[in-house]
Amino acid sequence: MKDQTVFVSGGAGYIGSHACKLLRSQGFLPVTFDNLSTGWREAVKYGPLEEGDLMDRARVDAVFKEYAPVAVMHFAALSQVGESMEVPGKYWRENVLGALNLIEASVDAGCRNFVFSSTCATYGDKDEETLTEDTPQQPINAYGGSKLAIEGILRDFSARYALDHVIFRYFNVAGADPEAEIGEFHQPETHLVPLMLEAIAGKRPALTVFGTDYDTPDGTCIRDYVHVQDLVEAHVLGLKWLLDGKGSRVFNLGTGSGFSVKQVLDACRQVTGKDVPHDIGPRRAGDCTRLVSGSVRAETDLGWSPKRSTLDQMIADAWRWHSGPGYRA
């Protein structure tokens, strides 16, 4: 039987490439659609690459026509919180209009299964709360705002065009492919774990810890970290949920355990045996104090269970990949 095709926007990026590998192993053919502005050609190993930009509706339509996918996984987005505070229009334009083009193209092509990569940033700064899918959404930056807008578009298209969708709001993603074939590499890099590992390896100057005056036990921000492998396993479960006709659903993805920046630095030193060069800087605009997920719905409805999402495992897997050839800029 011919493999079922999945249109994967942003499949050359960090999370998208890991999703493509898992999709291929599960009998799907992932077709990566990516403009390679932040993704890497070397990461596309598990299916065809179709270069293009989501703002180019004709190009998106052409790929749907050629491959006739049964579903979409939408990862492509601008995702730097700090940048979204500085140039909000860029985020509203590219994230929202790009997603709208993709959603309309999917509906027009008769592809009515859509898995969307959203974010906990839609909730805003909800200190001392464990966030559930029913927590009010009040984003405090343009990145979170743009993702919330796309969620609204999906609901409207579901009501009008029967576009079944699964929305995943997830927390800080870390780690790398356990087999070290693909990993996390951004330019510029903004994520804590790769910043630590690059600083240890001498590939960058000391990283900056943004703020040590938060209302937390050690003064640094607290985040819920989830392994990229666990994350993409949830996406494939969400895809199968849709293909089984179970309808639209929203899921948080996290572990329910928060770790501070200082705790992550300590864990990195334990795993690698090396101190992490770092400086202390002021808070960044748009950063929340504490973001921790409640993922009971994903566990009960999807049967999802994060298996690799310990700090030591995430850092060890990332370190193994970063110690290899990686991607070359």
pLDDT digits 0-9 by tens, 280-313 = 999 977 677 887 887 899 999 999 999 999 999 9
Contact 164, 242 (CB under 8 A): yes
Question: pLDDT tens for residues 16-51?
Answer: 999 999 999 999 999 999 999 999 999 999 999 999
294: which residues sit within 8 A by CB, 6+ positions away?
A: 130, 131, 132, 252, 254, 256
258-260 and 222-227: which strand pairing? antiparallel
Pairing of strands 71-74, 4-9: parallel
Q: What is the DSSP letter of 202?
A: T
Q: Count CA atoms closer than 13 A to 9's CA, side-chain side.
A: 30
Side by side, which strands form the sheet with 249-253?
Answer: 49-51, 28-34, 4-9, 71-74, 113-119, 164-170, 249-253
- Whether the CB-CB separation of 78 and 87 falls below 8 Å is answered with no
* pLDDT at residue 286, as a whole number: 63
The domains of the chain, with CATH numbers, are: 4-174+226-253 (3.40.50.720), 192-223+256-322 (3.90.25.10)
Mean pLDDT score, 250-265: 93
Does residue 128 carry a pLDDT above 90? Answer: no
| Cα atoms in the 13 Å half-sphere on the side-chain side of 284 | 19
Lowest mean pLDDT among 51-60, 116-125, 222-231, 286-295: 286-295
The pLDDT score that the predictor gives to residue 1 is 39
Residue 125: the pLDDT is 76
pLDDT tens digits along 76-88: 999 888 788 889 9
Contact at 8 Å (CB) between 228 and 13?
Answer: no
pLDDT of residue 290: 82
Active-site residue, selected from the candidate residues 143, 170, 214, 225: 143
pLDDT in tens, 168-209: 999 889 999 999 999 998 877 788 898 899 899 888 889 899
pTM of the model: 0.93
Structure tokens at 117: 């990569």
Is 169 in contact with 122 (CB distance < 8 Å)?
Answer: yes
Which pLDDT score, from 0 to 100, does residue 295 have? Answer: 83
143 is known as an active-site residue? yes
Q: Are 209 and 220 in contact (CB under 8 A)?
A: yes
pLDDT at 2 over 70: no
Model pLDDT, residue 325 = 76
Distance of CA 30 to the CA centre of its chain: 17
Tell me the pLDDT of the chain averaged across its residues.
93
